Chain A
Amino acid sequence: MIDYAALGQAIDIVFQLNTLLWLLVGISVGIGVGAMPGLQASTAVALMLPLTFTMPLGSALGLLIGLYKGAIFGGSISAISFSTPGTPEAAATVFDGYKLMRAGKGRKALLTALYSSITADLASDVLTIMIAPMLAIVALKFGPAERFWVMMLAITLIGSLSGDHLAKGLFSAAFGLFIGTIGTDPIGAISRNTFGLWWLSDGIPFPPMLIGVFAMAMVFNELLNPPMIDAAKDQARKLAENLLKKSEGLSAREFFRCWKEISIGFGVGSFVGLLPGLGATAGAFLSYAVARYASPSKGIGSGKIEGIAAAEAGNNATVGPTLVPLLAFGIPGSATAALIGGALVLQGATPSPRMFELFPHVIYALFIILIVGNIANLGLGRIFAFAYAKIGEVPKQYLIPVIGIMAIVGSYVYEENPYHVLLMLIFGLVGLVFRLCKIPEAPMVITFLLAPLAEENIRRALLIGGGDWVATLMNSPISIALAVLSLGSIVFSARVRVYQRIAEMRASELGDLRE
């Protein structure tokens, strides 16, 4: 049932000059950030989050959604131009994109990436608009026990599917839950786990924490081993040479030839986006693998536009659906969704199943921005993709000091509290350790947000159930199904990792025998 008054309000919010301008700024910056190797969508959103503190809702959503969409597409620019994916999401684009670039068809490759990204993104946004309200209606019927198990499922999925080491992914999730307990207990609001520090008595604020984990950790990582100047100059010169070459464009017939790969990308990417923890990188690789398997005669992998279409449609199709768990259950499905959730909280619209009742205009505004963002992304991508490729590799000597100060100032202006900068720096060190130890950061960030909610729900459920754990937590078929799925996700993931390990060992043994 559409709330037309709220829809009108949302249209007013979105079609204001400020909102549209910030959307354009977000997409422009996002494409640029995506094109710079090493910077990810989550880093860009974390760095820009502080700018939204004083913005009205529409501008804040425009900036962040624009950044997200722009960065996911932007990653393909350097993947195609220099064989260096700007973001991990674009890694699958390298296989065909760079081969086309070397064959003098860089323009064709970039346009294929742009059009397939936008097509799949738009289709997945429509899917998001249809699915999220239905899931929210289901979620509203959940009691505390079901809500607890939904969170457990999200936590186990995020922990077990993030990164390439099951125990490390789950450790990250558990550690996030632990730091989520710092501050006060969620029911009695009694101070706990503050290490005797008064500035931790309100808990760890979300913006400084994630700016630290995503942005400052990157700065520290670069400071550990800064690049040599000559190497950076040489790299930049080589990139400029490549980009100045003129090459043929993309015809409509060629683009429509990729319909099958774009459809695969849309289907796979949307499904992957709906699951918490997998993200755009998995969407791109899975979509690429399925497209290759579905059309072996097309020669995907040998420099074909179909390969680019599958990979780019696969990663961009996750953008909308990754917001579905956030909007329907209040559970962010990815780090970037967590950041957008954080921005919504700061705007006073806390994501939850009741969000559709309490803040319908916010939901509609978000949906409209998702759609309008694609049109803006298409326009900006079409006009500036080639220029972005030229500036894509700004030397890190210039980039890192700016990221550092943006992170520090951003954390400070959140509440003008210097201790927030200190916290951000500490989480920068935590993020650095995670990077060096190859532990995924996203589970920690997401479970940090879920920790108080999970604790609150289990304690409420136990209060209602009179303290009987089994009867309370297994109170309905839905609870039992969710519990089985939570456990199943870990078991499934463990088995997949074991098979992967065996396959790797066999491959290495075969290699040894051949030698």
Chain B
Amino acid sequence: MKLIRTNKGAACAMLAGLFPVLLYILFSDWAGDRLSDGFRLGTFPVIYLLLSMLLIAVTLFDARRGDALEGFETFGLAGLIRVFVYFVVAVLFAFYQEKIGFIPCAFMLVATGAVEMRLRPWTVIFVYASAIALLLFALFYSLGFALKPIGAF
């Protein structure tokens, strides 16, 4: 487990993540298409991706390969779940705020963030999320952005 939290471990994980991208480009239909100036459409993406992979591979072998990445030691599964939940709520906000309305959606999003950040008690969260949702609506509305306060329903 400790190996993963070092430069070496992070480099391996990144290479594992980038390799499928390289395969995707190499085996895609468009990458081999020749352009009017003689270049292929995939030339630059492949060069830049290979360069990225080469540079991250360097950290597998350089003098600092064993250096610990302390950031990984400060959280566990609960932290990852919090990020995942916030991510999902944010995506729902983006795709449904027009239907449900900006203010209720913003309230939900702020409340989710506040709960996850361990803000208590619940009454404070309620007042805080309501105030921020209203303030943000007023701010963006006054700047000319067409946001619907309570949606289409």
Contacts and interface: CB of A to CB of B under 8 A. Distances in A.
A422 B55 contact: no
A297 to B, nearest CB: 38
Given A224-B83, A405-B110, A437-B69, A229 B38 contact: no
B59 A422 contact: no
B94 A178 contact: no
A469 B48 CA distance: 18
Interface in B1-53: 7, 10, 14, 24-25, 30-31, 33, 35-39, 41-42, 44-45, 48-49, 51-52
B143 A54 contact: yes
Interface size class of A (residues with CB under 8 A): 35 or more
A459 interface: yes
B119 A223 contact: no
A86 B128 CA distance: 25
B55 A174 contact: yes
A126 B106 CA distance: 44
Given A421-B91, A438-B69, A397 B83 contact: no
A225 B69 contact: no
Most buried by A among B49, B56, B64, B94: B94
Contacts of B118: 226-229, 397
Contacts of B90: 404, 408, 421, 425
A451 B36 CA distance: 20
Contacts of B37: 187, 459, 462-463
Contacts of A397: 114, 117-119
Interface in B71-85: 71-72, 74-75, 79-80, 82-83
Interface in A42-68: 51, 53-55
A175 B35 contact: no
B74 A171 contact: no
Contacts of B132: 401-402, 405
B139 to A, nearest CB: 8
B126 interface: no
Contacts of B146: 416
Interface in A159-192: 165, 167-168, 170-171, 174-175, 177-178, 180-182, 185, 187-188, 190-192
A167 B11 CA distance: 11
B120 A229 contact: yes
B94 A418 contact: yes
B109 A425 contact: no
Interface in A389-437: 396-398, 400-402, 404-406, 408-409, 412-413, 416, 418-422, 425, 429, 432-433, 435-437
A332 to B, nearest CB: 19
Nearest to B114: A401
Interface string B109-124: 1111110111110000
A406 B136 contact: yes
Main secondary structure of the interface of A (DSSP, over half): helix
B5 to A, nearest CB: 9
A157 to B, nearest CB: 16
Given A226-B116, A398-B128, A192 B94 contact: no
A12 interface: no
Interface string B78-105: 0110110011001101110100000000
Nearest to B120: A229
Interface string A254-269: 0000000000000000
A142 interface: no
A467 B37 CA distance: 9
A192 B144 contact: no
B45 A224 contact: no
Nearest to B24: A195
A400 B64 CA distance: 33
A367 interface: no
A412 B94 contact: yes
Nearest to B88: A425
Given A167-B59, A397-B117, A437-B10, A224 B41 contact: no
A54 B59 contact: no
9 contacts: A171-B52, A181-B44, A225-B75, A405-B110, A408-B109, A418-B94, A432-B83, A436-B69, A436-B71
Given A220-B86, A462-B37, 15 more contacts: A53-B145, A167-B62, A175-B52, A181-B44, A192-B30, A219-B86, A223-B83, A223-B116, A226-B116, A229-B120, A398-B114, A409-B140, A412-B97, A436-B72, A437-B7
